Amino acid sequence: MQGRRFASHFATRRSDMNAERLTERLTEHLTELASGGPIVVVGDDASEALARAYALRLGAALLTRETWEATDPTPVVVWCDAEGPGLRGPPANAAVRRPPAPPVSRPGRDPLVRALGRPAAQLRVVDATAGWGVDAGVLASAGAHVTMLERSPAMALLLEAAVARWRASAHPAAARLTLREGEATALLAALPHHDVVYLDPLFPGRETRATSAVSLRWLRAVAAWSLADGGDLADDGRLLAAARACALRRVVVKRARADPFLAGVEPSGSLVGRTTRYDLYPGGAAAPT
């Protein structure tokens, strides 16, 4: 009897050890996958088909929620549930982040809107570094027609789904937002001239609030997926030159207040706030005749 108990205990221990080894191997495998690209997680059963479509579009690994929660392989994943795609951190962090809806009221006194130099409703603007789409939403709510450029396929997917949600809910700013996926300098060269080009390149020192810190960390992580696929971030000088060539009136560059000028190029003026600075550069595009 005692021998059978020992054998049963040994078998259970061996089974536990095998499960642990399997989990470790799975974690190592998924971590390797994540280091080279995105992972899409099925947040609920109803979203499985959509998650599969997203994974195919992104060339991503597809995990069930249970597998992901058991392994915790990567700090950021594309999460898919009934509300659409979003970004989510480790399972302990339950928050799913999606591009926030633009403000409903017209933010006329917003420093970014004032940096345009003219009433926003008269302007066509390119947001060449769309990211979460926050600033593009502010500009569209102010009346500008905004073309968002986003090089990260994952962030472009999130923005595309968000704009579709806003249009479905008849958000007044949604009709003034369009999205182009691709590298900013190439897209700027191919676009027709716009009145203003807006740049908000990622740079260190921006994380002044906990919420901003998380959003920026996740944005950087998603940007790294594109680099892992052989992409390359345009240097600041080329980005600024491409923006000026596309802009009829001006280029607006958002910086932290104490940061150096983008690419070391001194602007023609700046709009300085408490923590943020908007540097203004004249557009270099010839006005249409």
| pLDDT tens readout for residues 62-72 | 999 888 888 76
| pLDDT tens readout for residues 189-201 | 999 999 999 999 9
pLDDT given at position 10: 36
Pairwise CA distance, residues 70 & 262, whole Å: 43
| pLDDT tens readout for residues 158-181 | 999 999 999 999 999 999 999 999
The chain-wide mean pLDDT, for the chain, equals 83
- Long-range pairs for 160-169: beta carbons < 8 A, 24 or more residues apart: 161/84, 161/85, 161/98, 162/84, 162/98, 162/99, 162/101, 162/133, 163/133, 165/84, 166/101, 166/102
Pairwise CA distance, residues 38 & 61, whole Å: 7
Domains of the chain are 33-98 (no CATH), 111-282 (3.40.50.150)
Q: What are phi and psi of 96, to 5 degrees?
A: -110, 125
At residue 12 the predicted structure's pLDDT band, cuts being 50, 70 and 90, is very low
At residue 37 the predicted structure's pLDDT band, cuts being 50, 70 and 90, is confident
pLDDT given at position 20: 57
pLDDT given at position 60: 93
At residue 277 the predicted structure's pLDDT band, cuts being 50, 70 and 90, is very high
| pLDDT tens readout for residues 220-268 | 888 887 765 444 455 899 999 999 999 999 999 999 999 999 999 999 9
**How far is C-alpha 128 from the chain's CA centre?**
12
> Is the separation of the CB atoms in 222 and 149 below 8 Å?
no
DSSP 8-class letter at 265: P
Query: Residue 76 pLDDT more than 70?
Result: yes
pLDDT given at position 95: 86
Torsion angle defined by CA atoms of residues 254, 258, 263 and 267, in that order, rounded to the nearest 10 degrees: 70
CA distances from 149 to 128, 158, 265, 275 (A): 5, 13, 23, 25
Segment of 15-24, 88-97, 106-115 carrying the highest mean pLDDT: 106-115
Query: Residue 4 pLDDT more than 50?
Result: no
Tokens of 223: 């940007």
pLDDT given at position 166: 96
Whole-model pTM? 0.83
pLDDT given at position 68: 84
Strand pairing report for 77-81 and 84-88: antiparallel
Query: Residue 21 pLDDT more than 70?
Result: no
Identify which has the larger pLDDT, 287 or 280.
Answer: 280
Percent of the chain with pLDDT over 90: 63
pLDDT given at position 18: 57
